Amino acid sequence: MSARDWDQRGARRRARLAAAADALGGRLQGRHLPAEAAEDLLAAVLRPGDRVCLEGNNQKQADFLARTLAAQDPAQVHDLHMVQSVLALPEHLDLFECGIASRLDFSFSGPQGARLARLAAGGRIAIGAIHTYLELFSRYFVDLTPDVALVCAQAADAQGNLYTGPNTEDTPAIVEATAFRGGLVIAQVNEVVERLPRVDIPADWVDFVVPAPTPAIVEPLFTRDPAQISEVQVLMAMMAIKGLYAEYGVQRLNHGIGFDTAAIELLLPTYGASLGLQGRICRHWALNPHPALIPAIEAGWVESIHSFGSEVGMEDYIRARPDVFFTGADGSLRSNRAFSQAAGHYACDLFIGSTLQMDLAANSSTATAGRIAGFGGAPNMGADARGRRHASPAWLKAGAQARAGRSGAAATPRGTKLVVQMVETFREHMQPAFVEHLDAWALAEQARMPLPPIMVYGEDVTHILTEEGIANLLLVRNDEEREQAVRGVAGYTPVGLARDRRMVENLRDRGVIQRPEDLGVDPRLATRNLLAARSMRELVEASGGLYRPPARFRNW
């Protein structure tokens, strides 16, 4: 038996707790300290090179702790290795600009993607990797365990139990990985209360609680104003419902963010009902509480929704619909990104999302020149779950299509997840969505990534849906067919114009490509009148006044 010290992490933890107690003195009461002591706390517990998880979720932000960290003295606190889901706030990148942090592993950087690319190009950030959320959480338990976690909760009680409320999101995964491996957990809270509505994180797992001077930022990322849904999107939504959901009998699914999928949600109680599909499709969801789903919920389409996070303004509506949402004894939503991503991976039959660019192999990416946008949840949900073993009609049918006529290992019967990329042939500013080469390749070279940042691989995409029709890639049998199937729905983009017309017609004869008319979808019916709500106001009405959109979405 070696004489090695096997409790180095514990010793380090105790030393830091002692340093914190020294630095804070009487300002530390149990686990609690006042906001103005937070800077001293971080200075006392952080060490150069620490791996720090700063809770930046898709929605909820530990913004006060982010500011407090950015205010540290880089001479003392430097070269931190940041691990966090989302880079959303300017402070998240300020840390790198001023030298407090130098290394980054993350999932998504939507609003900060351009600045991130500049900092990476300038050598200020060493990017470890871009992950899908569940992948990043997984690494928290293997080789990216945080030394210090800076997290965010709605409230704490005197003991330090936390209430994360509707936006629980990533907090349980972060805290569990940190607290059970000798790390320190510091939580900012909006308020300290006598009795919590419910306990989401036990006080045992939390070291310090600090009330933030202002409530944590939460972004309403999943709100789409129906007024902005176009008739092209209505047409695409009709094709999705008739050509995919009804065709495969999709009961359990996840929708990405965006107007394309919002249009589908708003067509269920109108167009979907006219096809007699209620109860036959779209019963179970892994989804944030999308306001656009309210009319379908009210019409009785939706049996259950498990959510990654919540949505601002949906609180009262959720509270009034506990049969549909996962809620706590207090009535508010219990979200959990880790479980909802697992649900999206393993318990859903279909993922449908949008992208910015798709190439001839059907690889797609949201990375464009000069922007490192990240992946979010799409790779996890937009990939065949090869560990899945339970059957459903949709999964079996997709699998049978993928395997028909094959031999050997590829012929062994197996189901396949439906992974749909829904994209108009031209995106904003008339940029073609279909390209010969993804910008991701240039970005990989620029940022010295080992692989191009592809969000969903062509190998995993089963269907491409554009205003031109649906390409069913489960039925293609070689590279050339795949390429022509892509070109065949790429419309008037250069990629579409370069199609081999004879081959595309042949693919159409075989049902690989289906036009609206092949699906029995009449484009003349594709008007905004089909939307179950045409404005935010109508969404509010559909909710019986329970949905309360943020001010920026209210124009009445």
Q: Which residues of 508-535 are buried (b: 16+ CB within 10 A; e: fewer)?
A: beeebbbbbeebebebeebeeebbbbbb
- Smallest separation, CB 232 to its own copies (Å): 27
- Smallest separation, CB 323 to its own copies (Å): 5
Which tokens belong to 285?
């969801």
SS3 content of the chain, % helix, strand, coil (to 5): 40, 20, 45
> How far is Cα 109 from Cα 92, in angstroms, rounded to an integer?
10
- Smallest separation, CB 333 to its own copies (Å): 9
Q: Which residue, 235 or 266, is less far from its own copies as judged by CB? A: 266
Q: Which residue, 198 or 427, is less far from its own copies as judged by CB? A: 198
- Smallest separation, CB 433 to its own copies (Å): 18
> How far is Cα 127 from Cα 448, in angstroms, rounded to an integer?
9
Q: Which residue, 264 or 542, is less far from its own copies as judged by CB? A: 542
Helices 133-140 + 337-346 axis angle, to 10: 120
Which tokens belong to 538?
């109508």
Q: Which residue, 28 or 385, is less far from its own copies as judged by CB? A: 385
- Looking up tokens 């939507």 gives 110
Report the sign of the C-alpha dihedral through residues 257, 259, 264, 265, in that order.
positive
Q: Which residue, 511 or 545, is less far from its own copies as judged by CB? A: 545
Alpha-carbon Rg for the chain, nearest whole angstrom, is 25
- Smallest separation, CB 10 to its own copies (Å): 5
- Smallest separation, CB 347 to its own copies (Å): 4
Q: Which residue, 56 or 516, is less far from its own copies as judged by CB? A: 56
SS3 339: helix
Q: Which residue, 89 or 125, is less far from its own copies as judged by CB? A: 125
> How far is Cα 479 from Cα 96, in angstroms, rounded to an integer?
43
Within 101-193, residue ranges assigned H as helices are 113-121, 133-140, 171-179
Helix (H) or strand (E) holding 495: helix 494-497
Q: What residues are paired with 353 via a beta bridge?
A: 421
Q: Which residue, 135 or 518, is less far from its own copies as judged by CB? A: 135
Q: For 475, how many CA atoms within 13 A lie in the half-sphere containing its CB?
A: 18
- Smallest separation, CB 1 to its own copies (Å): 4
- Looking up tokens 């898709």 gives 58
- Smallest separation, CB 269 to its own copies (Å): 11
Q: Which residue, 30 or 544, is less far from its own copies as judged by CB? A: 544
> How far is Cα 181 from Cα 167, in angstroms, rounded to an integer?
25
Q: Which residue, 96 or 351, is less far from its own copies as judged by CB? A: 351
Strands (E), 94-221: 101-108, 126-130, 148-156, 162-163, 184-192, 208-211
Task: Tell me 143's DSSP state.
Answer: T
**Contacts of residue 554, Cβ cutoff 8 Å, sequence gap at least 6:** 536
Q: Which residue, 66 or 82, is less far from its own copies as judged by CB? A: 82
- Smallest separation, CB 529 to its own copies (Å): 21
Q: Which residue, 376 or 516, is less far from its own copies as judged by CB? A: 376
- Smallest separation, CB 450 to its own copies (Å): 4
Q: Give CB contacts under 8 A, 24+ apart, made by 18-23.
A: 19/44, 19/45, 20/44, 20/45, 20/208
> How far is Cα 167 from Cα 332, in angstroms, rounded to an integer?
10
Q: Which residue, 158 or 217, is less far from its own copies as judged by CB? A: 158
- Smallest separation, CB 504 to its own copies (Å): 17
Instruction: Report the 10 Å Cβ neighbour count for 308.
Output: 29
- Smallest separation, CB 525 to its own copies (Å): 26
First to last CA, the chain: 74
- Smallest separation, CB 39 to its own copies (Å): 26
Question: 80 with 54: CB under 8 angstroms?
Answer: no
| Residue 325: burial class (beta carbons within 10 Å; 0-12, 13-18, 19+) | buried
